[in-house]
Each structure stands twice: as structure tokens, then as C-alpha cells.
């Protein structure tokens, strides 16, 4: 009887040690945005643990470099960020405060996804503060293009395979499934939006340029006078004229912006304002990268069709 009990005990001990061993192998990852976190989870599966610094309802341009973020990064095996100066106001401070050599630039635990993207809207000529919050390396909101999500996923799979060669087969298999899922959905999203002839929009901020390039949407103007600069009454009057002269159908803003100026223009012109998530978690329905893009496409489809 004692021998049987000992056998059961050893079996449970072996199971516990096995589970603990699997858990110990997890790659601890910190991402700067929820989109990166969502895509990384699709690729890494049970072999990764992920924490995003910026939440879906926050503008990642303006995160505060809190000590709690430095603690998270201190414990990380891998930092994945969007780049193109999206996080320029705070990420370098968090990296410095983390005191973790693994996640510093040029180290294996440091991944800038913008290195794998062809940026849009790279400004030409000398730049200064009078031009607003301009990104000299290009528009950083490439995550809103499903085609770019595939490039992001490939880069993440490569990095995870480098850090954890034992599970490379799983990462590659998950990557293949992610690409298949994106391509299936992308065909459907394009079909739905391509049926709409007039897809002219005004935006609050130039957040959506990659999305528009993917789906053939025409951006006619911006409510901001300059990037990051609120509009003046004169500029709002110009935007109102643009709406009326170009038969603009929709005004688009990210969910983390105040709706005051878009709603004002809507009241003056009758054009519909659509609030969209710029990242996973930007609205309650946006629980993953797939559901976020589905929400965006559905809202645009409904807005264009009803206007």
C-alpha cells in the first residue's frame, strides 16, 4: 500500500516538475502596443508570456515612462516595439531605467518591427517644430494594414525561433496559420469595401494612411491643422469647405481622441463621424487583431453605405 502511495506521489511530483519546466521556458515579452501583443500571442502561443505597456484606449505617442514599466522590462527576455518614433517620447527612458542588457538596441532581445515595413509619408526637406508632430522616418501606424501585420508576424516568428530554437517548428506552424487567417479575412474585407464607389473621408489625425492604402479609401483632409496641433476656426472652415466640395462621406477619428471637433463638423455638414480603434482594445469589441480589423471594416462599411 505504501509502495502504491509512493508511486502516486512520484507521479504527481513528476507531473508538477514537468509543468513547472514548461512554464519556466516561457519567453517573457514586453510590447509597446496591444497590436504587437496580439500578433505575438498568435505566433508564440503557450511558449510566451506577454505584457503590453500601452493599452488599446491610449495614444502610444504620449505614454509616461513609469517605474512600473521599467520593472516589467527589467524582467523581460524580449522587447518588441513599433518604431518610426511612435514611442520616442518614452521608450528610451523605460529601456534605460530597466537596466536589462538583454533588451537594449543591437541585442537579441530587442526587436524594432518597423525595420521590416516600407514606411509611408516620409517627409522631404528640413523639419522643425513649426511643422507639428512630424515623424521623420515615416508614418508609424503601419499596424492598421493587414498586409503589414503579416510582415510583423514573420519578424516575430524569426525572433522567437532565434531565442527558442527548441520550439521553432511550433512558431513556424503558428505563423503559417496566422498568414492563412489574415489572407482569408483580407479577401473578404476588400470585397466588402470595394463594392462602395465613394470612399472619401476626413480624418482627425493621420492615423489611417496604411489602412486607406490597403482598401482604396481617399483621405481628403485632416481636422488637425498640423500633426498634433488642434485646429483653429479658420482651419475648421477650410475643412468644412473640403467636405462640401468633395462630397466627403465620413469623418474618422481614433477612439483615444476627443470628439469635439469631429462632432462640430458633423453638425455643420451632416457627415457621419466614425470612432474607430487604432489598436486592439480601443473599443470593447476589439479583443484581438482579427476582431479589431473586422470591427474597423464593418464600421466603415456601414458608415459609407448609410451616408
The DSSP line for 230-297 is PPPHHHHHHHHHHHHHHT--EEEEETTS--HHHHHHHHHH-PEEEEE-SSTTSSTT--SHHHHHHHHH
Domain check: are 25 and 95 in the same one?
A: yes
Domain co-membership, 180 together with 48:
yes
Which residue range(s) make up the domain with 15?
2-184
Same domain, 69 and 174: yes
- Residue 261 sits in the same domain as residue 119: no
Give mean pLDDT, residues 133-143.
Answer: 85
C-alpha cell at 1: 500500500
- Sheet of 218-222: strand order equals 218-222, 200-203, 250-254, 272-276
Same-domain pairing of 218 and 282? yes
Record the cell numbers describing residue 185, joined without a space: 479575412
Do 227 and 294 lie in one domain? The reply is yes
pLDDT score of 185 more than 50? yes
Question: What does pLDDT average to over the chain?
Answer: 90
Write the DSSP symbol of residue 229.
B
Check residue 227 and give its pLDDT: 82
Q: Which CATH number is 295's domain given?
A: 3.40.50.1980
Q: Within 47-167, where are the H helices? A: 67-74, 91-98, 146-163
Q: Output the pLDDT for position 127.
A: 58
Predicted TM-score (pTM) of the model is 0.89
Distance CA 24, CA 107 (A): 22
Show the cell assigned to 3: 509502495
Assess whether pLDDT exceeds 90 at residue 21. no
**294: which residues sit within 8 A by CB, 6+ positions away?**
185, 189
Please say if the pLDDT value at position 132 is more than 90: no
Q: What percentage of the chain exceeds 70 in pLDDT?
A: 88
Name the pLDDT band for 306 (thresholds 50, 70, 90).
Answer: confident
pLDDT class of 10 with cuts at 50, 70, 90 = very low
Q: Give the model's pLDDT for residue 124.
A: 78
Q: Note whether 265 and 215 are same-domain residues.
A: yes
pLDDT (tens digit per residue) in 37-53: 999 999 999 999 999 99
The pLDDT of residue 16 is: 47
Q: List pLDDT tens digits, range 199-252.
A: 999 999 999 999 999 999 999 999 998 888 889 999 999 999 999 999 998 999
pLDDT of residue 229: 86
- Residue ending a domain, choose from 184, 212, 240: 184
Q: Write down the pLDDT at residue 287.
A: 97
To the nearest 10 degrees (0 to 180), the angle between helices 260-269 and 233-246 is: 50
Strand order in the sheet with 78-81: 48-52, 27-31, 78-81, 110-112
50 and 98 belong to one structural domain: yes
Q: How far is residue 66's CA from residue 36's CA, in Å, rounded to a whole number?
A: 20
Last residue within a domain, chosen from 153, 184, 215: 184
294 and 212, same domain (yes or no): yes
- Domain identity same for 153 and 35: yes
- Please give the residue that has the higher pLDDT: either 19 or 249: 249
Residue predicted with more confidence, 160 or 129 = 160
Total count of domains within the chain: 2
Beta bridge partners of 78: 29
Which residues, at least 6 apart from 247, have a Cβ–Cβ distance to it below 8 Å? Answer: 198, 200
> Is the pLDDT higher at 115 or at 135?
115
Q: Are residues 30 and 79 in the same domain?
A: yes
- Per the listing, cell 530597466 goes with 98
Angle at 141 between CA 164 and CA 66, to 5 degrees: 70
Q: What is the percent of the chain where pLDDT is above 90? A: 83
Q: Do 194 and 178 share a structural domain?
A: no
Q: With cut-offs at 50, 70 and 90, classify the pLDDT of residue 136.
A: confident
State which of 146, 166, 184 marks the end of a domain. Answer: 184
**Residues 268-292: tens digit of each pLDDT:** 999 999 999 999 999 999 999 999 9
Mean pLDDT lowest for which of 76-80, 162-166, 195-199, 295-299?
Answer: 195-199
The pLDDT, as a whole number, for residue 226 is: 85
Written as nine digits, the cell of 225 is 491643422
Amino acid at each position: 500500500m505504501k509502495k502504491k502511495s509512493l508511486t502516486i506521489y512520484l507521479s504527481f511530483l513528476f507531473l508538477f516538475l514537468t509543468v513547472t519546466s514548461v512554464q519556466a521556458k516561457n519567453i517573457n515579452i514586453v510590447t509597446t502596443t496591444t497590436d504587437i501583443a496580439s500578433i505575438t500571442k498568435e505566433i508564440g502561443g503557450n511558449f510566451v508570456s506577454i505584457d503590453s505597456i500601452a493599452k488599446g484606449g491610449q495614444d502610444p505617442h504620449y505614454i509616461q515612462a513609469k517605474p512600473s514599466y521599467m520593472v516589467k522590462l527589467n524582467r523581460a527576455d524580449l522587447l518588441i516595439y513599433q518604431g518610426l518614433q511612435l514611442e520616442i517620447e518614452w521608450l528610451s527612458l523605460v529601456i534605460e531605467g530597466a537596466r536589462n542588457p538583454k533588451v537594449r538596441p543591437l541585442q537579441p532581445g530587442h526587436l524594432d518591427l518597423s525595420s521590416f515595413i516600407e514606411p509611408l509619408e516620409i517627409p522631404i526637406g528640413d523639419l522643425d517644430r513649426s511643422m507639428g508632430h512630424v515623424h521623420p522616418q515615416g508614418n508609424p501606424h503601419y499596424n492598421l494594414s493587414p498586409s503589414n501585420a503579416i510582415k510583423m508576424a514573420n519578424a516575430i516568428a524569426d525572433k522567437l525561433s532565434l531565442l527558442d530554437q527548441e520550439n521553432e517548428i511550433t512558431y513556424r506552424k503558428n505563423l503559417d496559420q496566422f498568414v492563412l487567417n489574415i489572407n482569408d479575412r483580407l479577401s473578404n474585407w476588400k470585397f466588402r469595401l470595394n463594392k462602395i464607389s465613394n470612399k472619401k473621408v476626413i480624418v482627425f489625425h493621420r492615423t489611417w494612411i496604411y489602412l486607406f492604402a490597403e482598401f482604396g479609401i481617399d483621405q481628403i483632409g485632416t481636422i488637425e491643422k498640423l500633426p498634433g496641433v488642434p485646429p483653429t476656426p479658420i482651419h475648421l472652415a477650410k475643412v468644412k469647405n473640403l467636405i462640401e466640395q468633395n462630397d466627403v462621406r465620413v469623418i474618422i477619428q481614433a477612439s483615444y481622441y476627443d470628439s469635439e471637433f469631429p462632432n462640430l463638423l458633423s453638425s455643420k455638414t451632416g457627415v457621419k463621424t466614425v470612432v474607430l480603434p487604432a489598436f486592439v482594445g480601443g473599443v470593447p469589441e476589439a479583443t484581438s487583431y482579427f476582431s479589431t480589423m473586422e470591427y474597423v471594416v464593418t464600421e466603415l462599411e456601414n458608415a459609407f453605405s448609410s451616408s
